[in-house]
Structure 1
Amino acid sequence: MNNNKLIIFILTIGVFGILNTEMGFIGLIPQIAEQFNVSTSTAGWLVSAFAIGIAISGPITPLLLSKVERKKVMLTVLIIFIISNIITLVTTHFSILLIARIIPAIFHPVYIALAFSVAADSVSTEDEPKAVARVFIGVSAGMVVGVPIVNFLAQHYNLYAALAFFVIINMIVLLLTIFFIPKMPAKKAVTYGTQLRVLKRPLTWISIMVSILFNAAIFGVYTYLTDFLNIVTEATGYFVSIILFLYGISNILGNIIAGKLLASIPQKAIYTLPVALILAYFAIFALGSHVIPMLFLSILWGTLAGISANVTQFVITSAAPDAPDLSNGIFLSAVNTGTTIGAFFGGLFIANLGSKYVIMVGILTCILNILFIILRHRQFNVIKEI
């Protein structure tokens, strides 16, 4: 394994550890509610507060730390995560547990943004999408693999075994970073004002909207997938687990495919994705009441969702290549905003029309996104002419 591949490998594990710390708590909410004697909705704030922290700090902390030596920043963030995770492991007070969740959320975007930037900088320009796609495998694994892992540990051992998993993963990444990641000076001494100028570009804001809508299209439906499988598909617990697993594995496959697509045909990939999602959602709407078709459709949908994760990052960073850390931070804020918006409207559709109609959130959001993608393409052409 050459040095560049080793760096990307460590970054992928690091991103897995960071994302697992964020998303893994989803699988622990019932146990935490019982252990700390709070309601399930109150325990849910451990997830919501983390997401809100990311959405707020996403564009800010990567910008503020963009001039600091990168390895030093990454080590600092990992130490903060380890200390916070240890506090969650030993505390007996829910309020302290909540604070220990909010603090790492503020620094979460820094590590993820740096991971994308460092991965891109470690390879040639034409291979940047492939390098970023490999790091995205860690994102997908953290989001869809970490949840069942910590849930398994909590169910078969106890809550503290699951919380210890967060500590162990981040400690492993810290050691790997100390011994195998070289010092990495900030890319260039760009002033904060220069970086913030990317926010004056219409292309940046249109790209942010594209990113928000892609994530709303995915998570507006995925958030309620278990509900859909229980009520519409009427799947047993066994088949629900299989479908969720297939979706997760396909997500990782989509990351790999996206890297190749964005390296060779980026604009075609961006245009084709919402159309493919619309067709997939129509198929789920028509056949979602049958278990076997849903098994195969979950593979298709999961693959498209994995591609979408890479595309949402690409549309923002390619619009602001002169401020990579800031643009990656904006991306993280945009996707968390999209997830929140999508989940909100998904809930409205379910409350007013029924579980089956949550699919309409994905379809309508993709249709709207096609319009913004067309606007984005026109803006790109205007910049090229200038």
Structure 2
Amino acid sequence: MKENNLIVFILTVGVFGILNTEMGFIGILPNIADQFGVSVATAGWLVSIFAIGVAISGPTMPLLFSRLNRKKVMVLVLSIFVAGNVISIFTSSFTVLLIARLIPALFHPVYVSLAFSVAANSVKIKDVPKAISKIFIGVSAGMVIGVPIASFMANMFNLQVALSFFAIVNFLVLISTLLFIPSIPVNERISYGSQLKILKKSLTWFSILTALLFNAAIFAVFSYLAEYLQTVTNVSANVTSFILLIYGAANVIGNIWAGKLLTSNPMKTMVYVPVLVGLLYIILFFTGQFTFPAAVLIFFWGILAGIGANLTQYVVSSAATEAPDFANGLFLSSVNIGTTVGAAAGGLFIASLGTSHVILAGIFAALLSLLFIWLRNTKYTAVVETTERKLQEKASALT
């Protein structure tokens, strides 16, 4: 049991390192622009190209590596990330830096999908949601905590120190993986054709669209939260940073709670979370100009977003248990596309109606996600009932 806990811990830190490499660049874009003599907008491509790489490789790369020894694949991916980090530290070419970002991005879904699968296989079936929630703590930490840490290091020391932080985390996880994670061969090698069959199921597509739309509901607003706080709530940059930190801490709390909620009653959790997000958005729409209510609402929103991240992974993975790695890859691709769609929708609402109305984009996406949750759960219940009936018929035939 202790060995399994150690494996889950290493995977959690590993996911933190991967997400830290992806999102941490957000906090150092001005430093990169100065270092490489490009505009901040051009430097922003370092974030965009990573997200594009993840979205493209999400459905394919986990599938391609699904039949190989898990430990060997994780070592390969971590080695690629360390190499990309080291190149980023020493290169003086912005083009080389872009390439050093794109190649690891293509392998990002491989490690994260494996982290979910290996964590799930390291515990008893009833404890799977709790193990997955621990992995999501690494995801949240990488997305939220990595940004201020990298920004602090770049401003306090220099850009190379911040980039070294990414490299050191991934290197330590690589060594820990080599030393403490045992060989994990794939005992049952599922053919690529068998895994691709999950794409024929309407349940899979309802689940993918649920994950995409819920993530769009979160990021339609979160992508512009700093601007919202400074223009609508009218708080200072320092207060904005503090509230964003509150959101990040709440996100981690949500990840912890998610394991318990999805273990006890996943179907109700699927319905309640988007409903609560929608209601919270409606309240925020009318009270967002007041600092304290906005801060409190954003704290609870962070909790719901943390639960929702676990929820969307569960929605997709439970719909395609016969191809877990491929399903996790589809999940990663769908939420990345959801992030892009949500940010684009939020931008359109801001451009046409103003910053305060960005919340309407989140409400609309939350309602759509609720619709697809209903379609998904209806189909899921029908599939379960059909499977149980077939098993009963077989049992009756045998007796």
- TM-score under structure 2 normalisation? 0.96
**Cα distance in 2, alignment partners of residues 265 and 382 from structure 1:** 18
Larger radius of gyration: 2
Residue type of the partner of 2:356?
A: K
What is the match of residue 102 of structure 2?
Answer: 102
Residue type of the partner of 1:106?
A: L
**Aligned pairs (5 A) from 1:4-153:** 4-153=4-153
Alignment check: 8 A CA contact 1:212 1:334 kept: yes
Per the TM alignment, residue 360 of structure 1 is displaced from its structure 2 partner at its CA by 0.6
Residue type of the partner of 2:136?
A: F
What is the match of residue 336 of structure 1?
Answer: 336
- Cα deviation digits, residues 228-258 of structure 1 (max 9, x gap): 0010000112211110000000000000111
What is the match of residue 173 of structure 2?
Answer: 173
Per the TM alignment, residue 99 of structure 1 is displaced from its structure 2 partner at its CA by 0.4
What is the match of residue 349 of structure 1?
Answer: 349
Per the TM alignment, residue 83 of structure 1 is displaced from its structure 2 partner at its CA by 0.4
Alignment check: 8 A CA contact 1:12 1:138 kept: yes
What is the match of residue 257 of structure 1?
Answer: 257
What is the match of residue 186 of structure 1?
Answer: 186
- Cα deviation digits, residues 309-333 of structure 1 (max 9, x gap): 0011010000001111000000000
Per the TM alignment, residue 119 of structure 1 is displaced from its structure 2 partner at its CA by 0.3
**Cα distance in 1, alignment partners of residues 339 and 115 from structure 2:** 21
**Cα distance in 2, alignment partners of residues 17 and 129 from structure 1:** 22
Aligned length: 386
Residue type of the partner of 1:113?
A: S
Identity within the alignment, %: 56
Alignment check: 8 A CA contact 1:258 1:306 kept: yes
**Aligned pairs (5 A) from 1:257-276:** 257-276=257-276
Question: Is residue 378 from structure 1 mapped to residue 378 from structure 2 by the alignment?
Answer: yes
**Cα distance in 2, alignment partners of residues 185 and 263 from structure 1:** 28
Unmatched 5+ residue regions in structure 1?
Answer: none
- Tell me the secondary structure at the aligned position of residue 232 of structure 2: helix
Residue type of the partner of 1:299?
A: F
Per the TM alignment, residue 187 of structure 1 is displaced from its structure 2 partner at its CA by 4.8
- Tell me the secondary structure at the aligned position of residue 145 of structure 1: helix
274-283 or 14-23: which moved more?
274-283
Alignment check: 8 A CA contact 1:243 1:294 kept: no
What is the match of residue 318 of structure 1?
Answer: 318
- TM-score under structure 1 normalisation? 0.99
**Residue 300 and residue 138 in structure 1: after superposition, are their counterparts in 2 closer, same or farther (change >3 A)?**
same
Residue type of the partner of 2:332?
A: L
Per the TM alignment, residue 385 of structure 1 is displaced from its structure 2 partner at its CA by 2.8
What is the match of residue 285 of structure 1?
Answer: 285
**Cα distance in 2, alignment partners of residues 331 and 95 from structure 1:** 30
Alignment check: 8 A CA contact 1:220 1:362 kept: yes
**Cα distance in 1, alignment partners of residues 302 and 187 from structure 2:** 35
Residue type of the partner of 1:246?
A: I
Residue type of the partner of 1:177?
A: T
Alignment check: 8 A CA contact 1:251 1:304 kept: yes
- Cα deviation digits, residues 142-166 of structure 1 (max 9, x gap): 0000000000000111111100001
**Cα distance in 1, alignment partners of residues 280 and 86 from structure 2:** 42
**Cα distance in 1, alignment partners of residues 365 and 30 from structure 2:** 32
**Cα distance in 1, alignment partners of residues 186 and 284 from structure 2:** 46
Question: Is residue 368 from structure 1 mapped to residue 386 from structure 2 by the alignment?
Answer: no
Residue type of the partner of 1:384?
A: V
Question: Is residue 248 from structure 1 mapped to residue 248 from structure 2 by the alignment?
Answer: yes
**Cα distance in 2, alignment partners of residues 23 and 373 from structure 1:** 29
**Cα distance in 2, alignment partners of residues 28 and 220 from structure 1:** 23
Residue type of the partner of 1:368?
A: L
- Cα deviation digits, residues 155-190 of structure 1 (max 9, x gap): 111111100001100011011111111110125211
- Tell me the secondary structure at the aligned position of residue 84 of structure 2: helix
**Cα distance in 2, alignment partners of residues 269 and 12 from structure 1:** 24
**Cα distance in 2, alignment partners of residues 241 and 346 from structure 1:** 21
Per the TM alignment, residue 217 of structure 1 is displaced from its structure 2 partner at its CA by 0.3
57-66 or 186-195: which moved more?
186-195
- Tell me the secondary structure at the aligned position of residue 233 of structure 1: coil
**Cα distance in 1, alignment partners of residues 212 and 21 from structure 2:** 23
**Residue 202 and residue 187 in structure 1: after superposition, are their counterparts in 2 closer, same or farther (change >3 A)?**
farther
- Cα deviation digits, residues 274-317 of structure 1 (max 9, x gap): 11001111121111111111221111000000011001101000
**Cα distance in 1, alignment partners of residues 377 and 305 from structure 2:** 22
Per the TM alignment, residue 39 of structure 1 is displaced from its structure 2 partner at its CA by 1.3
Residue type of the partner of 1:259?
A: G
**Cα distance in 2, alignment partners of residues 384 and 154 from structure 1:** 53
Per the TM alignment, residue 2 of structure 1 is displaced from its structure 2 partner at its CA by 0.6
**Cα distance in 1, alignment partners of residues 273 and 295 from structure 2:** 21
**Cα distance in 2, alignment partners of residues 246 and 149 from structure 1:** 15
- Would you identify which runs of 4 or more consecutive aligned residues in structure 1 move more than 4 Å? none
Alignment check: 8 A CA contact 1:231 1:355 kept: yes
**Cα distance in 2, alignment partners of residues 292 and 385 from structure 1:** 48
